[in-house]
Structure 1
Amino acid sequence: MQARTVAVAPLAMPRGMAIPSLRGSDGHRHAERTFTVRTASSGPEREHAAELLRERYSWRGYRTVQLPADQTGFRSTLSAHDGDDVIGTLTVELDGSQPLSADNAFGDVTAELRAAGARLAEFTRLAIDPGASSPRVLAALFHVGYIVAYRIRRYDTLLLEVNPRHARFYERMLGCQVVGGPRTHAGVGAPAVLLSARFEFIRDQIGLFGGRPEDAGNVRSLYPFAFSQRDEEGILARLLAEQFSDSMAAELDALN
C-alpha cells in the first residue's frame, strides 16, 4: 500500500493549550502553515514515522516499540507531515485476527468488554514532534483514526493506553474514561492506565465542535480542532478510494 495524503489542516499553536505528553516544545508558533495526514503503511513514510516513534519514546525513557510489520486491514499507521518532515504518527489497531496491544497488560478488561459485545479499536504508538506540538496535529491524527475505525470499519469502542500522568488530559480533552487502573506496560517499561470512549460519543462531539478552532478558548476539548463535517466526508472518500482496495472491501463486507 503506497502512502497517500488523505487530509490537510492548518498548523498553529493556540495560546494556553499544550499536550502534556509532549515535553520539550520549542514554543514556536507555526501560523499560516499547513500539514498533511498520510497513510504510512510502507515506504519512506513508514520509516520516518518509525524513526520519530523511536526518538520520542527514547526521550521519555520508554523502551523502543516497533510499528506493526503486518500493515493489513487490522493495522493502519498514519503520519502527519510538515512539508517533508514527519511531525506525528499514530497506529490504529482493530480487534480481529491479532490481539490488541492492550491485551498484554489489560487482557481481563478487554475480555470483559468483548463479552459485553464491544467491538474494540485501539489507538497506539502515538508520537508528536515537540517542535510541532500543536493540538491540531493530535486532533487530526485522532480524527482520521476515528474515520478508519468507526466510519469505515464500524468498530464502536476506542481504547487508549496512556501514562497515568496523562490520563486526566485525555479524560478532559477527548471525553475518555478510565476502564483499567495502573499497571506495568511491559512493552515500554512504564506504568499505564487503560482509557475508553464510545465512537458514537466521539461522533457527536465532532458534530458539535469539529472545524471550529475559534471555540477552543471556551471549550476545554480537542474537538474544536477536529475537521469539519464537510472535510470529514472528503477524508472518508479519499480513504475509501485510495487506501482500501476492492479485495479488501470485499473482505470488510464479509467481516461486517
Structure 2
Amino acid sequence: MNTTLHAVAPSPCPNDFDSIAFASSRTSTYTVECADPHRHDRAVRLLIERMYSWRGLAPVDADVATARPDRITLVASDESAIFGTVTLGLDGREGILADALYPEELARLRRRGARLCELTRLAMDTHHNAREVLGALLHLVYIHGRLIHGASDVVIEVHPRHAGFYRRMLGFSPIGDERVCQRVNAPAVLLHLDLRHVDEQIALHGGTSKPGLRSLYPYFFSPEEQDEILRELGAPH
C-alpha cells in the first residue's frame, strides 16, 4: 500500500487511538484518523446520510460516536472533504447495537466464549479509491478491536442485497435471518466473522494489492506496516 505514518494533534478519541493519521501515496494522499466531534460531526452526518439515502436507507443516528468509551469512529479525508467513515463498537455491559435485533444469535456466540465487536455506520464515497480506503479503515478498526482490545469475533448488520459483498470480499457468514432494522428503517441480516480469518488473510495478502483477487485483504496494510502502526500506538504486538 506504500503507506507512511504521521503524528497528528490528539483528538478526544477513547482508548489511545487518537494520535496517528495515515497517508497513502500509491494513488492519492489521504488521512485516516479518529473523528473529532468538533471538526468532523457535520461532515460525517452528511456523508452517512448521502450514501445511505443513495442506497434507499434512512439512518436515524449519524452523529460522531464519542459519547461512549466502547465506540470509536474513524474518518478518511483529503484536503477537501471527508469521504469515508466507520464506527467500531466493543462489547460490554450494555452490549452492542446488534443486540436489539439479534439477541439470541449474539448470546450463542458469547456462550462459546466470543469477545464481540461490531461494525456500524460504514459509508464510503465511491468517487474515491473505495477498495484502498476501505482496506485502511477496516484494518485500523481490526487493530483497535482485535490487537488492542482482544476481540475474537466481529458482526455487522447489512441490507440483504449487500451481504454478498461482505461474504466475497471479507469472508463474513450469515448467522441471523432478515429482520427490519429501525436504525436505518430497512431490512437487515446479521453477518459474522471469526477474526482468526482476518489474521490469516493479512499474513497472506496484506499490502499486496493483488490484481484480480476478489478480496479486500490485499488492500489492508502489510504485516510490517501493521507492526509499525502498533509501535506508533505504543501497543504490544
- Range into which the TM-score falls when normalised by the shorter chain: 0.7 to 0.9
Report what 2:102 is aligned to.
106
Structure with more helix by fraction: 1
Decide whether the 8 Å contact of 1:95 with 1:121 is kept in 2.
Answer: yes
Encode CA deviations 1:180-234: one digit per residue, 9 max, x unaligned: 1111111111111111111111011011000001x131x2111011111121122
Cα pair distance change 1:205/1:69, threshold 3 Å = closer
1:117-132 mapped onto 2 (5 Å cutoff):
117-132=113-128
Aligned residues: 220
Which of 6, 11, 24 is residue 9 of structure 1 equivalent to? 24
Report what 1:186 is aligned to.
182
1:240 CA displacement: 4.2
Decide whether the 8 Å contact of 1:6 with 1:235 is kept in 2.
Answer: no
Aligned partner of residue 215 in structure 2, secondary structure: coil
Give the aligned CA root-mean-square deviation in angstroms. 2.0
1:93 aligns with 2:89: yes
Decide whether the 8 Å contact of 2:180 with 2:188 is kept in 1.
Answer: yes
Report what 1:39 is aligned to.
34
1:10 CA displacement: 4.3
Which of 127, 143, 146 is residue 147 of structure 1 equivalent to? 143
Aligned-partner Cα distance in 2 for 1:78–1:91: 6
Paired residue type of 2:30? F
1:223 aligns with 2:210: no
Report what 1:58 is aligned to.
53
Aligned-partner Cα distance in 2 for 1:126–1:63: 13
Structure 2's unaligned 5+ residue stretches are 1-9, 12-17
Report what 1:208 is aligned to.
204
Report what 2:3 is aligned to.
none
Identity of aligned residues (%): 38
Aligned-partner Cα distance in 2 for 1:83–1:238: 23
Structure 1's unaligned 5+ residue stretches are 12-31, 242-256
Report what 2:228 is aligned to.
234
1:238 CA displacement: 3.2
Decide whether the 8 Å contact of 2:158 with 2:191 is kept in 1.
Answer: yes
Aligned-partner Cα distance in 1 for 2:50–2:145: 27
> With structure 2 as the length reference, what TM-score do the two structures score?
0.85
Paired residue type of 2:35? A
Report what 2:15 is aligned to.
none
